[in-house]
A and B are shown apart, each in its own frame.
Chain A
Amino acid sequence: MRLSGAKAIVESLKSEKVEVVFGIPGGSTIPLFDAFYDSDLRHILCRHEQCAAHMADGYARVKGKPGVCTATSGPGATNLVTGIAVAYMDSSPIIAITGQVPQQMIGKDAFQEADIVGITNPITKYAFQVTSASQIPDTVKIAFLLSSTNRMGPVLIDVPKDIFYEEVDLDSYQRFSLKGYNVRSGEPHPYSIKKAVGLILVSERPVIIAGGGVIASNGGEELVRLAELIMAPVATTLMGKGSIPETHPLSVGMVGMHGKGECNLTVEAADLIIAVGVRFTDRSTGNLEKFGEGAKVIHIDIDPAEIGKNVRVDVPIVADARKTLATLAKKLGEVGSKRGENDWTRRLREIKSQYSDKYKEADGGLRPSKLLRLLREGIPGKAIVTTGVGQNQMWAALHFQALEPRTFITSGGLGAMGFGLPASIGAKVAAPDRPIFNIDGDGGFIMTEQDLATAVVEKIPTVSIILNNRVLGMVRQWQCMFCDKRYSQTDLGKVPDFVKLAEAYGAEGVRVESYREFETAIRRSLRAEVPVVIDVPVSADEKVLPMVPPGKRLKEVVWYG
């Protein structure tokens, strides 16, 4: 069958079972959009390419399979960059298809030309530029394979405009050689398992740190099973939030700089750390030199380059998180090592009760911790939360209990403000039957606010809760704590009026002044058929606490600002 390069892309996407593409057309992608015109692929027209990438990302994290976004050459492609970098840092599978100037103009600094393959090389698993339409079928196939296997991540396909017009024979297309990439079975090596089981059996105070890898591998159930078997408390990284229900008695919440105090202290007290699908970022470990002092470390990750990158490891296991957790539980079950209440679990309860009431907030205004607890009570367990970046994100991480994997979606590694709204739109497209809440700050919301238009026009009703303190709160908090309250450039002023802003887009805007109004707004938003923006004023002096100051070790928790 012969067809144009543009149609070949559409057919290739369909054979990868793609249902939706997020993007904006432009000069170089006119032929691609002409092919979309009479295909049954759903295309969601965004208002900024960055949002197209975040939407594909939000979609991917809910579905567990690649999300697809598209942009034109030059500025369209460069606008995707932040979104691609977010997906790269958080190992989220997205496919970005960019138009490029026609081949004979490449390198001539043509109108809307940008070297997007060069620009995205360090933030993709692979960046392709096709040089003939006959490469398209295999390139798309391999792009999806790369994106969704081993450690997942973004892949870019750059398509010069002339190639959209060139014909390709679908029965005899060009193959792409990729001898250097092997899809891992993910099965843990028996020898590593034996060593890990040995360490677990002799440990008295085991702790599991669960990261994004547990969620990416759908290993939530296996995680809980292992934790219960060995009575190990489970700390999560930001990316691992939701891997264990946070109401579970063994859950101690998030670890790290802005983690729960009791969680950090639990990790410090451990004699064995079982780290699953984590990469030991500085935000999770505190002072790296002192991390895991006196403890043995088992590190499970699908990416061999993560082993030993930041933290010294006693037993490395390069494997799939879910499969390894299952195997460990099986082997431990065989030797009959089910643990009951013991000194460690009693100590754990002690640490928890000692610190659970230490969260203190400034007077005045509505308090984020209470708002987030009320949100949890007011929405179903399967509801999905996305976040912005900064204080709102850390408050959500600390005080909103995630009950299921893939229900807490956040820009963890890159920390890109503006992620929340577009990610919530992508999440809603992936899970139209589930309520989606974007917990955001006023500073971040403004960065991508124009895509309220997308949500309204495409009828994608998500709810944004803006914890509105009129400042760039996290930076301001550091200025307060470490710069002697010299608030340099963190005051945003009392604009905009978010209710009017929402209404201008045809969304619903609500301002709440009390907890009761907040609860009502949440309840009503669950039935809303248009996007909702809930503006919640909070004090600019409210801090994210506790906190481990930079360079300090995890137990050096600061409780008061």
Chain B
Amino acid sequence: MAEDLHMISAIVEDRPGVLFKVTSLIRRRGFNIATITVGGSEKENVSRITITMRGAPRVVEQMVKQLSKIPDVIKIIELTPDEAVYRELAMVKVTAAEPAKRSDILNYISIFRGRVIDASTDSLVIEIVGNPTKISAFLDLMKSFGIAELARTGTVALARGPRSSKGDEGS
């Protein structure tokens, strides 16, 4: 059975050690996450940590409950792919010395709405933003040209529509 993708937004106090507490808990309880991102939120002194994971609903529920117990976690919001917009950014360096290859690459970039952000005689650095499946599809194409380096940010997500505050209050 394919396990569904789950996205969890943790709204946390912005202070030293909070990311450590979250990741330490994930490690200690054996949760298997796909990505984790941290950054600012709409409020001062409050950060948003976005975690994606695949797992059975019971495992995800347990992780949400455990995360909620961290006193620095103000709120946890579970987002399903249907109810959320989510994006990832990737930067990929592709070897492209031959002109024919280079034009193929540029075509694909345009189809996937990516951008070239650096170019040299034998390589391109491409920026691509989108949902993670789109990025993976693009990267699969780039593999045939030769990926020299790759950096993915992990997913960030927000709930669709006006909803913003639904979620488990921390305890």
Contact = CB atoms under 8 A, between A and B. Distances in A.
A177 B45 contact: yes
B62 A181 contact: no
Contacts of B61: 308
A478 interface: no
Interface stretch (B12-20, B82-90, B119-127, B139-147): B12-20
Interface stretch (B70-78, B101-109, B128-136): B70-78
Interface size range of chain A in the complex:
20 to 34
B contacts with A: majority SS: mixed
Scoring A177, A184, A308 by chain B CB atoms within 10 A of each residue's CB, the highest score goes to A177
Nearest to B15: A177
Given A179-B13, A305-B65, A146 B71 contact: yes
Interface size range of chain B in the complex:
20 to 34
A308 B171 CA distance: 17
B70 A180 contact: yes
Contacts of B69: 303, 305
Contacts of B62: 305, 308-309
A182 B68 CA distance: 11
Interface string B5-23: 0000000110001001100
Nearest to B45: A177
A32 to B, nearest CB: 23
Given A177-B13, A180-B73, A305-B66, A121 B21 contact: yes
Contact of B171 (A177, A184, A307): A184
A308 B13 contact: no
B58 interface: yes
A512 interface: no
B75 A118 contact: no
B171 A150 contact: yes
A380 interface: no
Interface in A378-396: none
A207 B28 CA distance: 33
A125 interface: yes
B21 A179 contact: no
B170 interface: yes
A contacts with B: majority SS: loop
A182 B58 contact: no
A181 B45 CA distance: 16
B110 interface: no
A304 B68 contact: yes
A180 B75 contact: yes
A122 interface: yes
Nearest to B72: A180
A122 B45 contact: no
Contacts of A305: 62, 65-66, 68-69
Given A125-B71, A150-B171, A308-B58, 18 more contacts: A146-B71, A178-B72, A180-B12, A180-B13, A180-B68, A180-B70, A180-B73, A180-B170, A180-B171, A181-B71, A181-B171, A184-B171, A304-B68, A305-B62, A305-B66, A307-B65, A308-B61, A309-B62
Interface of B: 12-13, 17, 20-21, 24-25, 28, 45, 58, 61-62, 65-66, 68-75, 169-171
25 contacts: A117-B17, A118-B20, A121-B20, A121-B21, A122-B25, A125-B71, A146-B71, A178-B71, A178-B72, A179-B13, A179-B74, A179-B170, A180-B13, A180-B70, A180-B71, A180-B72, A180-B73, A181-B171, A182-B169, A182-B171, A303-B69, A305-B65, A307-B65, A308-B61, A309-B62
Minimum-distance CB pairs A-B, first 9: A180-B170, A305-B65, A181-B71, A180-B74, A179-B74, A180-B73, A305-B66, A122-B28, A304-B65
